Chain A
Amino acid sequence: EAGVTQSPTHLIKTRGQQATLRCSPISGHTSVYWYQQALGLGLQFLLWYDEGEERNRGNFPPRFSGRQFPNYSSELNVNALELEDSALYLCASSFGTDYDQPQHFGDGTRLSIL
């Protein structure tokens, strides 16, 4: 069984540009979660998609957005990039929306803003 895959592995952008990060969940998983892990700040919840709908979002500005496609893959878009957006962005997937379902994480996309 293929795990959660994220692309690209690394992304280098400059301030003001836009970044698009992609995530393919494990086959059969309908929920996709996005997290940000900035250096020294720990993991923070960004967005949760299930069955194509945004279910919840964390305390991030609207320039962080995303979507989930009919095949359950997901995209995270970050507009008007700022230096503090430099971080590891992790995607996770799970089966359904129950809190006791394990989340399976991808290896992340490391976004660097110059």
Chain B
Amino acid sequence: KNEVEQSPQNLTAQEGEFITINCSYSVGISALHWLQQHPGGGIVSLFMLSSGKKKHGRLIATINIQEKHSSLHITASHPRDSAVYICAAWRLYQFYFGTGTSLTVIP
């Protein structure tokens, strides 16, 4: 069983929709990162969370340490948000990655 689980695996949305991607982990962690990977492979780090909530533009990330759960929200989704979103839990000096959520936003 993967220590980090993401859902859904695939997500298709209409432009403008509110999107939520979930990440659950089964062990204690120091921090959780959200990454964005565009076709071709390039990865961008979106957020690092150890508690609470962070916001950057249309992206919001939350984490509940007690429930071992994090969510990434995208408000007013746009086709340029189409990418794979990966959560990564930092534990014992390494990352444990979720399997990713492939998001497609249709105009």
A43 vs B99: C-alpha distance in the bound complex, in angstroms?
Answer: 7
- CB of B42 to closest CB in A, whole Å: 5
Task: Note all chain B residues with C-beta closer than 8 A to A45.
Answer: 94-97
Is A104's beta carbon under 8 Å from chain B?
A: yes
Task: Give the most central of B44, B94, B96, B98: most A CB within 10 Å.
Answer: B94
Interface size class on chain B is 20 to 34
Is B45's beta carbon under 8 Å from chain A?
A: yes
Interface size class on chain A is 20 to 34
Task: Note all chain A residues with C-beta closer than 8 A to B86.
Answer: 42-43
Contact status A102-B48, CB under 8 Å: yes
Interface residues of A in 1-58 (CB under 8 A from B): 33, 35, 37, 42-45, 48, 55-56, 58
- CB of A101 to closest CB in B, whole Å: 8
By DSSP majority rule, is chain B's interface helix, strand, loop, or mixed?
strand
Task: Note all chain A residues with C-beta closer than 8 A to B48.
Answer: 99-102
Contact status A42-B99, CB under 8 Å: yes
Q: Which of A48, A90, A101, A103 contacts B93 (CB 8 A)?
A: A48
0/1 per residue, B8-30, Cβ < 8 Å to A? 00000000000000000000001
A45 vs B35: C-alpha distance in the bound complex, in angstroms?
Answer: 14
A58 vs B93: C-alpha distance in the bound complex, in angstroms?
Answer: 10
A56 vs B93: C-alpha distance in the bound complex, in angstroms?
Answer: 7
Contact status A100-B31, CB under 8 Å: yes
Contact status B97-A99, CB under 8 Å: no
Is A105's beta carbon under 8 Å from chain B?
A: yes
Please give the residue numbers on chain B whose beta carbons come within 8 Å of chain A beta carbons, in ascending order.
30-31, 33, 35, 40-45, 48, 50, 86, 88, 90, 92-100
> 8 pairs across A/B with beta carbons < 8 Å?
A42-B99, A56-B94, A99-B31, A100-B48, A101-B48, A105-B35, A105-B43, A107-B41
**Top 10 nearest A-B pairs by Cβ distance?**
A105-B43, A43-B97, A99-B30, A56-B93, A99-B90, A45-B94, A42-B99, A102-B45, A108-B41, A99-B31
